[in-house]
Chain A
Amino acid sequence: MTEQMMTFSGALNAVLHQAMRQDGAVVCIGEDIAQNGGVFGVTHGLCDAFGSDRVIDTPISETAFVGMAVGAAMTGLKPMVELMFCDFTGVCFDQILNQAAKARFLSNGKLKLPLVIRTTMGAGDGSGAMHSQSLHGLFASIPGLIVVCPSSPADAAGLLKSSLASDDPVIFLENKQLYELEGLVDAALPPVPLGSAKLAKDGADVTIVATSAMVHEALAAATRLESAGVSAAVLDPRTVKPLDEASILEHVRGTGRLLVVDEGAPFAGLADAVISSVVRGSFPSLKAAPQKLCPPDTPVPYAPAPEACWLPGSDAIVEAVVLMMED
């Protein structure tokens, strides 16, 4: 196994090159992805390598091109759609909510839907309320969709590989703040199974469940907590749906404390789903009430100070854990 340093976006790009090389059915569809290589550079070089019949620049017509991808997936292609920002799913939500998510069920499995919609999530760069949302919880609430939120280059590569191999539609959410993050990636780009959590750091006192960019905030907090004598674990579900409840329950049974840190909705989102699962599944082992840290229940603000205040961060995580330890 040879490993190499890759950026998050570079790892995704490498998987796309590999997938298109290995499987002629894989096509890429989206705005500014061919000639410009994608707004974040993830599709760089694909058009040169595989041509404009397989790497398709579309009009700004999300309903039409997501719908086209749904139909193409039903009929033999394996489309990878790039949707610049997950906020734009608002434009084409019928094709996601009613068409992509339900086709396999309604056909009793006759239809396969090997469709990956890659899109972005995440605040922190002053992009404002319609280019910064994190809607993984919303997608996860729709039966029929797989929802993926990688936090590292290796996971991004491996999960994208598994997503491209899936016959169920996948919403693949890349945090904008992570694109330049570097990490070691196996040159063979091995798949990471969907629905499998990763223990990013082990610990005995508290289980911090976090995904996407929040993993890094949680890891920073865990390091600081260590020096304060608190041993915090960071568990990254990696896939929001299906959620690896077994791994979460098992770990919380060991620590007795759960904090969920999530950039998604503070109401009926991933944090609530994890807490619900833990309360139902390992209630007797809890030493303190499970807690969550999410943004406030507002749209993402534009100006830097309010936006920084909106985002959960390592300071707040440390504070929350310390409070839990006092319980």
Chain B
Amino acid sequence: MNRNELKIYRQCWFIRAFEGAIAAEAAAGNVPGLVHLSTGSEVADALIGHHIDPNRDKVTGSHRSHGLALACGVEPLDVAKEILGKAGGLSDGLGGTQHLIAPESGFLTSNGIVGAQVPIAAGAALSAKSRSGGGIGVAVFGDGAANQGAVLETMNMAVALKLPMLFVLYNNGMAQSTKAETASGGNYRDRARSFGLPVWSADSVDFAACSKAVEHSVGHARLKGPAFVEVAVSRDHGHYYGDEKADQVFGANDALLAFEKWLLEQGVERSAIVAAADAGKAHAHAIVTEAVAAPNAPATLLSGWSSGESAVND
């Protein structure tokens, strides 16, 4: 057993506790708008963060990208502040929960428009290709986005242009608040194959398989060309936090419990597992608590952005 898996496990609990703390702040009225939580996709998020190289890769994500940004190594305090609309957030509170932007950490952008992040990752892949540094573009999107024309167009184009790009489909079975099975024809892996993309897939409750799928698909994108990986994940809330119409619950499908079981099977001491989880949770609570105490983004933030002034100021 090596330290990597425990580190990833800790990261997963960090994300879950971070989202739990954000949910509590949302319930208390401290989040400006609606939040879409990553609770349920922690294992997939953490594995992507683990296998990409933030120095040369660029990841784009959906509206549900808190966990992905954190896993990519974006400064968590800045993420929390952005979600809470605080000064010192990633964009000082101008962007917010759906618009986390930290290219310096390899996290290019999340997005308010379903699927729009996918062609943007193709652009990052094109830049990486032109630099010949071995970097890749990674687009993380959901089963809902898989039905957007822009996503299908990008799959075709990535193959046609031989872009170093990875398509990561998080399948949580819900397209916003509509069941994926009533909104999708065929399966997503066959779609990807039909464009000529090599396909990997795994369920995030199977940590080992999931890790292998992410590692191999990242490797393929880096060395050989565009690739596709589908990861089955859960979504422990409705489309947004508080959307009771489409609430889901983990039940037996909690990838973190499965991960814990797997660690035990690998011979990791229970005390070490518990300590890793506790460390992740404590870190998350400390971060969100600190962010809550930060000053709110001031109204003066807008000055300088009007009428093309931003271009002058740059």
Contact = CB atoms under 8 A, between A and B. Distances in A.
A125 interface: yes
Nearest to A34: B178
A299 B239 CA distance: 24
Contact of A126 (B96, B112, B178): B96
Interface in A276-327: 296-299, 301-310
B176 A31 contact: yes
A117 B177 CA distance: 20
Contacts of A1: none
A205 interface: no
A57 to B, nearest CB: 5
Contact of B305 (A90, A128, A296, A302): A296
A90 B113 contact: yes
Contact of B297 (A297, A299, A305): A305
A59 B144 contact: yes
A13 to B, nearest CB: 16
Contacts of B98: 128, 130-131
B147 interface: yes
Interface string A26-44: 0000011001110100000
Nearest to B306: A296
Nearest to B144: A60
Contact of A32 (B34, B89, B96, B178): B178
Nearest to A306: B301
Contacts of B301: 301, 303, 305-306
Interface string A122-149: 0001111111000000000000000000
A57 B183 contact: yes
Most buried by A among B93, B147, B175, B178: B178
B93 A301 contact: yes
Q: Which of A35, A298, A303 has the most chain B CB atoms closer than 10 A to its own CB?
A: A303
Given A126-B96, A301-B93, A302-B85, A60 B148 contact: yes
B99 A130 contact: yes
A302 B175 contact: no
Nearest to B31: A126
Contacts of B178: 31-32, 35-36, 57-59
A98 interface: no
Interface in B164-186: 175-178, 182-184
Contacts of B307: 267, 296-297
Interface in A50-67: 57-64
Contacts of B89: 303
A303 B302 contact: no
A87 interface: yes
A129 B149 CA distance: 22
Contacts of A296: 302, 305-307
A61 B32 contact: no
Nearest to A91: B113
A128 B308 CA distance: 20
Nearest to B183: A59
B299 A60 contact: no
Contacts of B111: 130
Of the candidates A37, A299, A307, A310, the one having the most CB atoms from chain B within 10 angstroms of its own CB is A307
Given A36-B177, A57-B182, A304 B147 contact: no
Contact of A87 (B112, B145, B297): B112
A210 B191 CA distance: 49
B131 interface: no
Contact of B114 (A35, A60, A303): A60
B150 A306 contact: no
B33 A127 contact: yes
Nearest to B245: A36
Contact of B85 (A88, A126, A129): A126
A301 B308 CA distance: 16
Given A302-B96, A303-B301, A305-B297, A58 B113 contact: no
B171 to A, nearest CB: 14
Given A128-B95, A306-B301, A60 B145 contact: yes
B66 interface: no
A131 B98 CA distance: 10
Contacts of A304: 32, 85, 296-297
A152 to B, nearest CB: 25
Interface string B87-131: 001001111111100000000000111111000000000000000
The 10 closest A-B pairs by CB, nearest first: A126-B32, A130-B112, A302-B96, A303-B93, A126-B33, A303-B85, A303-B297, A309-B299, A59-B147, A59-B183
8 contacts: A39-B176, A59-B144, A59-B147, A60-B115, A60-B176, A126-B34, A128-B99, A310-B302
Interface of B: 31-34, 85-86, 89, 92-99, 111-116, 144-145, 147-150, 175-178, 182-184, 239, 245-246, 296-299, 301-302, 305-308
